[in-house]
Amino acid sequence: MHQGIGFIQDLAVVMAIAGIVTVLFHRLKQPVVLGYIAAGVIIGPYTPPFQLIHDEQTIQTMGELGVVFLMFSLGLEFSLRKLFQVGATAIVAALSEIVVMLWIGYEIGRAFGWAVMDSLFLGAILAISSTTIIVKALADLGVKREPFAQLVFGILIVEDILGIAMLVLLGGIAQTGELSPGIAFVTLGKLLLFMTVSLLAGILVVPRVLGYVARVGSDEMLLVSVLGFCFGFCLLVVKLDYSIALGAFLIGAIMAESRHLQRIEHLVAPLRDAFSAIFFVTIGLMLNPLVLVDYAWPIAVISLAVVFGKLVSCGLGTFLAGRDGRTAMRVGMTVSQIGEFSFIIASLGLTLKVTSGFLYPIAVTVSAITTLTTPYLIRFADPLSRRLAHAMPPSVSNVFGMYSQWLRCLMPRSSGTQGPTLFSLTRRIVVQVAVNLALVSAIFIGASYGARYALPLLASWVPDERIQRVVLWSAALLLAIPFLVAVWRKTQSLALLLAEVSVQPEKAGRFTRALRHAIAELVPAVSMIGVFVLVAALSGTILPPTGFLIGVLVCAAVLTMLLWRWCVKIHASMQIALRETFDEGQDS
């Protein structure tokens, strides 16, 4: 009973001071997050009276749980459907904001004479706005349901995805020390593949299991299952060398497709609140006020850059994507701060030991300053846009007006009850081929990755190393057969379409049938060769020697023919299950 006293004491100090400071900050009408950080500074080793925390390591671990729960909650709020609704505008605005802020951050860092890596991380820190702060500020101001707020949430979702991509890229750069376009491409490709596969597989499995558990009606069981999936998936992701943050976000996004989303959010909220409080306190713990005095000048410059940079880049992006000036101004003012994602990026830099110690406190302070200004900026957006509209010379406002009108002409009319066009049909088939190819690739990549563990195990059964590879590769192939069959069938349909379109009877004359037949047969065959080359490249380390390979392929071909109907059936039922999950989510 008494072994954990030190830890309970730490927790008591953290929670008690967090509680007091939080109430105080609420009275002062300041965001609670700032209260937590202030509590951390008070408790921390750099301020009097003295170091109040005994076991900082354990508190840091609890803070990491806070990151997991924060990202998990972000994932729960993520939704592919919501993303499609705000669509293009959100993507344009978020991309414009991130690219501009990355550049501004990097340039500022270089101008202060900081190292390249510090400057790069500064850019990344400034790029992503804070969902927590924005949701809180909009709710406080009572404008959470207005259209511009919906657009802001869309931008935040896009930012979260791009932020996660950035985390992965930064991790890569930090390890190799450089960013070649090739490596970036491969890294992002692998990330995209991993995200697609885990989203697909997750959405097939997780909501079904949770639905089964939820039907029992016990909150306790549901919570433990949710946490089991959450941490289990995080573990898998960490083993694949991605960050816990990515894992928590992805599994959250998977669970967002569950019917029982609301109950899950309700159950996870107290855990998120408790541990994110600890996370923000740990941020304060690492803050040395003396550093802030030394770096007062950069902090001021960066804070101004965040506010004006985000206002201009995100606002302009919104405007260029076709919204009116008032909306653009409000969106720009709303996203003008940095927050939890910046802390995660800054701590990544510290953990990988590629950034200097001063970057973290600067990020925290800039976040605190811009968090403080956010509510005022949102309130100030409307008067400012009115005043700007008055003050603008007529010629300039004319140009803006013409741009808006031109853009409106460009946009396609919403086409009422038009049937599936050839284009949309083709697009759907291409997407299906891509998804199935992604799954096939994932299986073979997984097999090559798993070979490290599987081969030593196999070694005790089959001593011959070539036979080992045959076994492993055959197993992967067996798993992939349903998806390969699907790829084959979809390319066949695609080839038929292609043959119909490309070979016109008026040109080909009496060869029409023969030509069409040739195309319809050739294209799938060539594609399958391409698929084989891809698979061989991906599974290079476990590819059996040629002789064996041919044997395996022949066996697989025979097996496929025998099991053709079964393969088609299993793939179809998987597809239906996937669609059902999405539709269920949509109903609720």
**Binding region for a second copy (CB under 8 A):** 1-5, 7-9, 11-13, 15-20, 22-23, 26, 32, 58, 60-61, 64-65, 67-68, 212-213, 216, 218-221, 223-225, 227-232, 234-235, 238, 243-245, 267-271, 273-274, 277, 344, 347-348, 351
Name the minimum Å distance from CB 70 to a second copy: 12
Judged by CB, which is closer to a second copy: 245, or 256? 245
CB of 149 closer than 8 Å to CB of 333: no
d(CA 512, CA 515): 5
Can you read off the two tokens belonging to residue 529?
Answer: 């060769």
Measure the CA angle with vertex 107, ends 101 and 108; round to 5°.
90
Q: Please identify which residue in the block is written with the tokens 């957006």.
A: 381
- Per the document, the length of the chain is 588
Helices 116-127, 340-351: crossing angle, 10 deg rounding: 160
Judged by CB, which is closer to a second copy: 97, or 340? 340
Name the minimum Å distance from CB 63 to a second copy: 9
Name the minimum Å distance from CB 176 to a second copy: 17
Name the minimum Å distance from CB 162 to a second copy: 18
CB of 481 closer than 8 Å to CB of 559: yes
Q: Which positions ≥6 away from 427 have C-beta within 8 Å?
A: none
Judged by CB, which is closer to a second copy: 282, or 365? 282
d(CA 440, CA 535): 8
Judged by CB, which is closer to a second copy: 17, or 335? 17
Instruction: Using alpha carbons, list the distances in angstroms from residue 502 to 231, 284, 430.
Output: 52, 65, 17
> What's the burial of 509, exposed, middle or buried (CB within 10 Å: 0-12/13-18/19+)?
exposed
Name the minimum Å distance from CB 59 to a second copy: 11
Judged by CB, which is closer to a second copy: 51, or 424? 51
Residue 352 amino acid letter: L
Judged by CB, which is closer to a second copy: 2, or 565? 2
CA 327 vs. chain centroid, Å, equals 26
Helices (H), 177-243: 181-216, 219-239
Can you read off the two tokens belonging to residue 130?
Answer: 């804070």
What do you get for the CA distance between the two ends of the chain, in Å?
A: 46
d(CA 474, CA 377): 61
Judged by CB, which is closer to a second copy: 154, or 163? 163
Judged by CB, which is closer to a second copy: 270, or 530? 270
d(CA 216, CA 467): 47
Name the minimum Å distance from CB 405 to a second copy: 45
Q: Please identify which residue in the block is written with the tokens 């946490």.
A: 227
Name the minimum Å distance from CB 130 to a second copy: 16
d(CA 436, CA 528): 13
Judged by CB, which is closer to a second copy: 3, or 415? 3
Judged by CB, which is closer to a second copy: 58, or 432? 58
